Amino acid sequence: MNSTARPLFTSLLVLLALLLSLALLAIGYTLLAPRPSQAQSVNLKTAPLKWSGDGLKLELQTMPLDLVRAFFLGRGFSKHDAELIAKEGCIFRSAIGNSGDKVTDPAISIELEKWRVITPNKTSAPRTREDWDVIWEQKKAPEQAKTAFYWALFPTKQTYQASDYNWGMISFALAPQSRFNLEVYWQIAGVPKKHVFKNLECGK
């Protein structure tokens, strides 16, 4: 190969390698990215609870304890801390979004801190990312595990335009098999709304 062709050949190889990398990333994202009705639903034993109204589209599904343990062990938590999440977290997977499908449909917003978890003994808010951060700081959990946990949980506050959605886990901070009512609050175009889900059950 002559000296003139060599730089061109090298450039072509670099370009091909870049295009191959981008293609692999796109394929990986397509295969791995969850959909609202499928997010974290693998191996779940209960049917998802689905509800839609006043601009809100919501899906909740109990996560069994074995799946919770395995999920967080795989993200760097110790057995003790993974057990804590399983036994105190009451983890549900969730998909939340705006049910509107037109650009002119109003935005909705949620704040998990305003939701209410109601049992015969107490009423509380879900345990948010920020609440768990305090626990992990006290327990000196690994940074990698804390970061993974933060991004696994549903955002504490979120605004959705028409057809927007997001997914993640929500922690209701109850013991396994606890039953509770959940008051969900949101706003559509700034107007407060509420819906009550009755007799939900934590994983077992």
Axis-axis angle for helices 79-89, 129-139 (nearest 10): 150
* Same domain for 86 and 44: yes
- Domain containing 117 equals 36-201
Calculate the alpha carbon distances from 163 to 58, 97, 101 in Å: 12, 7, 5
Whether 134 has a pLDDT exceeding 60, the answer reads yes
pTM to 2 decimal places: 0.77
* Same domain for 55 and 8: no
* Same domain for 54 and 26: no
Q: List pLDDT tens digits, range 161-176.
A: 999 999 999 999 999 9
Structure tokens at 193: 């709304």
User: Whole-angstrom Cα distance, residue 58 to residue 64?
Assistant: 20
Q: List pLDDT tens digits, range 4-16.
A: 445 444 444 434 4
Quick one: pLDDT at residue 180?
Answer: 98
Give the CATH number for residue 189.
2.60.40
Strands (E), the chain: 49-53, 56-62, 91-98, 108-111, 116-118, 123-124, 157-160, 165-171, 179-188, 191-201
* Same domain for 50 and 25: no
Which amino acid, 24?
L
* Same domain for 58 and 22: no
* Same domain for 21 and 74: no
Quick one: pLDDT at residue 47?
Answer: 84
* Same domain for 156 and 57: yes
Instruction: Give the CA radius of gyration of the chain.
Output: 21
Quick one: pLDDT at residue 44?
Answer: 56
Q: List pLDDT tens digits, range 94-127.
A: 999 999 999 999 999 999 999 999 999 999 999 9
With pLDDT > 90 as the criterion, what percentage of the chain qualifies? Answer: 77
Quick one: pLDDT at residue 7?
Answer: 46
Count of domains for the chain: 2
